[in-house]
Amino acid sequence: MLDFVQQLVSGIALGCVYGLIALGFVLVYKATEVVNFAQGDLMMLGGFFAFTFIGMLGLNYWLGFAGAVAAMALFGMLAERVVVRPILGYPQFSIIMATIGLGYFLRSVVGMIWGTDDFKIETPFSDGVLRIGSLVLAYDKLSVIAATIILCALLYLFFNRTTLGTAMRASSENMLAAYYMGIPVKRVVSIVWAISAAVATAAGVLLAPITFIHSNVGLVLGLKAFPAAVLGGFGSIPGAVVGGVLIGVIESMAGFYLPQGWKDVAPYIVLLVVLLLKPEGLFGIHTRKKV
Amino acid sequence: MRFLFKTDYEDDIRLFPHSGYVVSYGILLALLMIAPFVLSSYLVSQLVFVCIYATVGVGLMILTGFTGQASLGHAAFLAIGAYTAAYLQQYNVPFPVYFLAGGLLTGVVGALVGFPALRLTGIYLVIATISFAFIVEEVLARWESVTHGNEGMRVKTLSLFGQAVPQNGPTFYFLCLGVLILTIVGTLNLLRSPTGRAFVAIRDSETAARSMGVNVSLYKVKSFAISAAITGLAGVLFAHKLSFISPEMFTLQLSIEFIIVILIGGTFSLHGAVLGAIFLVMIDPFLTYLKDDLPGIIAGTFATFGADSVTAGKIYSNVAAVASANGLKGAIYGVIIVLFVLFEPLGLYGRWLKIKLFFQLFPLYKRATFKRQKIYVKSERNR
């Protein structure tokens, strides 16, 4: 029972990271129907920015965190402007390929600049543990869960209580109609990319104490975050987080209770089964064109 | 220049629209036939890889280019073909038998993947194929009684009608070339047939295809099966070329490389598959060239324009440092993919068509002929 709770908590913590990356996918997909395969790599780049600010320049953790988020928000806008905007409205395949290319580029450039070693970011809550009876929970895992909850609440408030959030929802419903209603769709899209890169950065920095940061971490985690987003139903924000947590818990449980080798494939098997039964994911809305 | 007047359907689907095609492809074939006797063994080896990658490219083109079903799991099909060959070879099964068996088995697996894929579109399909590839990779690593797990399997030298065919010799090259040519001709014929027309109809509009009476699910499964079978055949050759296979060779990276083949070559043409394969295989020699010769060339150029020897030396070492940086290949892949998607979505073949048309219409060429049109209304969400 104790083992189970322990595995559950670490699974949820890992799943929250997947969920945060998946959240980035979903934000961008909802707004522009672009599937961003480089989302994991944005997370990796954010982690490296934070490492540069905190580990190399010696800034305060929170200051470095904020700096990395700001830098990545700018980078997200830049990526949108350079790579994605020219091909908005083209077939999905082109856009997927463009973002895969972007991911390749980021990975190898990061490898060239920072090297291919593992890096670790020192955090204020790296070492401590919370003891409840004989249950031992590491602070770094709890911090990931707490941060995910806070971020989701903030995003919820942003989308439902602010004008900009409403504008974003409008342009994700129907870009053309939103444009005719006077919403600056292009600016909205680039802000969406900024937010999604910022969320990815938060995931990267939170993840840094759990696994080390290296240039391929984005690919590895991005490939787990995809099933998370698809499981939740691409295009549903709560779905992304729930999907992420599910994938994290499945992976953690499979790693503990099943023989070796199941850990890596169990999430994909579950995903395939879910897709077979419910092709639009758990929370997906299957829209039909009215003729 | 020559004008092609098409007056009936037969004209439209002819394999060689006019005699010029026969001449140019004949010359190309002749050049390819004498290639192994003229070129260095390294280049012949690269040509073999071009043939194998192009065969996979043709297979993927049928699925992604012509039926519009994206797949990022083709490395798994290649792996199934390769492992079938390696496994059957242990029992002294002759090459033609396990070659066809590899294709057949992969085709069956492809059809089995195609059935669940029927209900999936767009990004869901991509993820499902990736998941399938991961599962196959893991099965290959764990099913040790058949695949020897992570130790990998040694593939014996190919023997055809009692004759050994070493993977570096000209005969193996001719074998791969033959398979490629047969695949291409077969695919061309397939595309001229009702099946191929149905594939293209599904790609362009599933709803329209269905309303024309095309059995969409049947043709989607067919497309998966044919595409997988061709990839499986290539897998058998791949196993022989490398003479050693292990699960970590068939990763997502390889699937992405196949997608790069058809993307860079041009997504809607069989020429594209071959051009893309040439491109992908030639990146490695190009990188070697960058490392070995480019710094010298650049420094030499600066020296001839009056830079003194110290500056030239500095330039040399700087260029050499960049050219031999770790992971340069990834950056080049990335930049090239993005540039192609942004500026030349029809790929190398599209570029060739533009050049050809420029010369055909010489003083009257208009760039706007190939202007892309944005389609904002066609949403993937409303299906």
Reported as a single tens digit per residue, the pLDDT across B137-186 is: 888 888 877 778 777 788 877 777 777 777 777 888 888 999 999 999 99
Q: Measure B65 CA to nearest chain A CA, in Å.
A: 10
Q: How is residue A269 written in tokens? A: 């098997």
Rounded to an integer, what distance in angstroms lies between the CA atom of residue B56 and that of residue B272?
12
Contacts of A104 in chain B (CB under 8 A): 330-331, 333-334, 337
Q: Measure B92 CA to nearest chain A CA, in Å.
A: 32
Q: Measure A64 CA to nearest chain B CA, in Å.
A: 27
pLDDT value of residue A35: 82
Rounded to an integer, what distance in angstroms lies between the CA atom of residue B255 and that of residue A104?
14
> What's the DSSP call for residue A67?
H
- Provide, rounded to the nearest whole percent, the portion of chain B with pLDDT above 70: 95
The nearest alpha carbon in chain A to B149 belongs to: A261
Contacts of A234 in chain B (CB under 8 A): 123-124
Binary contact (B124, A281; C-beta < 8 A) = yes
Q: Measure A288 CA to nearest chain B CA, in Å.
A: 5
Q: Is the pLDDT of residue B239 over 60?
A: yes
> In this complex, which of A101, A106, A287 lies closest to B341 when CB atoms are compared?
A101
Q: Identify the residue with better confidence: B372 or B126.
A: B126
Q: Measure B128 CA to nearest chain A CA, in Å.
A: 6
Contacts of B380 in chain A (CB under 8 A): 33, 92
> In this complex, which of B116, B326, B336 lies closest to A116 when CB atoms are compared?
B326
Q: Identify the residue with better confidence: B203 or A56.
A: B203
**B291-330 residue pLDDT tens:** 777 777 777 777 777 777 777 777 777 777 776 666 778 8
Contacts of B123 in chain A (CB under 8 A): 29, 35, 92, 96, 230, 234
Average confidence (pLDDT) over B34-59: 88
Interface test with A, best of B377, B381, B383 (most A CBs within 10 A): B381
Q: B27-35: long-range contacts at Cβ-Cβ below 8 A with a sequence spacing of 24 or more?
A: B29/B181, B32/B177, B33/B174, B35/B173
Q: Is the pLDDT of residue B357 over 60?
A: yes
pLDDT value of residue B377: 47
Q: Measure B373 CA to nearest chain A CA, in Å.
A: 8
3-state secondary structure of A135: strand
> In this complex, which of B124, B142, B252 lies closest to A279 when CB atoms are compared?
B124
Q: What are phi and psi of A119, to 5 degrees?
A: -120, 155
Do B171 and B229 touch, CB atoms closer than 8 A? no
Binary contact (B337, A289; C-beta < 8 A) = no
Q: Is the pLDDT of residue B117 over 60?
A: yes
Q: Measure B315 CA to nearest chain A CA, in Å.
A: 19
Rounded to an integer, what distance in angstroms lies between the CA atom of residue B83 and that of residue B73?
16
pLDDT value of residue B383: 45
Binary contact (B326, A275; C-beta < 8 A) = no
**B107 Cβ partners below 8 Å, 6+ apart?**
B225, B226, B228, B229, B232
Chains A and B: how many Cβ contacts under 8 Å? 143
> What's the DSSP call for residue B32?
H
For residue B90, count other CB atoms closer than 10 A to its CB: 12
Contacts of B342 in chain A (CB under 8 A): 83, 86-87, 98
pLDDT value of residue B356: 84
The nearest alpha carbon in chain B to A38 belongs to: B334
Do A41 and A222 touch, CB atoms closer than 8 A? yes
Q: How is residue A134 written in tokens? A: 């004989």
Contacts of B205 in chain A (CB under 8 A): none
Q: Is the pLDDT of residue B68 over 50?
A: yes
Angle CA B144–B148–B149, to nearest 5 = 70
- Provide, rounded to the nearest whole percent, the portion of chain B with pLDDT above 90: 20
Rounded to an integer, what distance in angstroms lies between the CA atom of residue A124 and that of residue B245?
47
The nearest alpha carbon in chain A to B375 belongs to: A89
Q: Is the pLDDT of residue B108 over 90?
A: yes
Contacts of B379 in chain A (CB under 8 A): 33
Average confidence (pLDDT) over B199-224: 89
Reading chain A (291 residues) residue by residue, the pLDDT tens digits are 777 888 888 888 888 888 888 888 888 888 777 788 888 888 889 888 888 888 777 778 888 888 889 999 999 999 888 888 888 777 777 888 888 899 888 888 888 888 777 777 777 766 677 777 777 777 777 888 888 888 888 888 888 888 888 888 888 777 778 888 888 888 888 898 999 999 888 888 887 777 778 878 888 888 888 888 888 877 778 888 888 888 888 888 888 888 777 777 888 888 888 888 877 777 766 555 555
Q: Identify the residue with better confidence: A4 or B227.
A: B227
3-state secondary structure of A290: coil
Q: Is the pLDDT of residue B286 over 70?
A: yes
* CA-atom Rg of chain B in angstroms: 23
Q: Identify the residue with better confidence: B330 or B107.
A: B107
Binary contact (A100, B337; C-beta < 8 A) = yes
Contacts of B119 in chain A (CB under 8 A): 275-276, 279
Helices (H), chain B: 9-12, 19-38, 41-60, 74-89, 95-117, 122-142, 144-147, 170-192, 194-204, 206-211, 216-242, 252-265, 270-292, 294-304, 309-323, 328-343, 347-360
Binary contact (A108, B330; C-beta < 8 A) = yes
Contacts of A94 in chain B (CB under 8 A): 341, 345
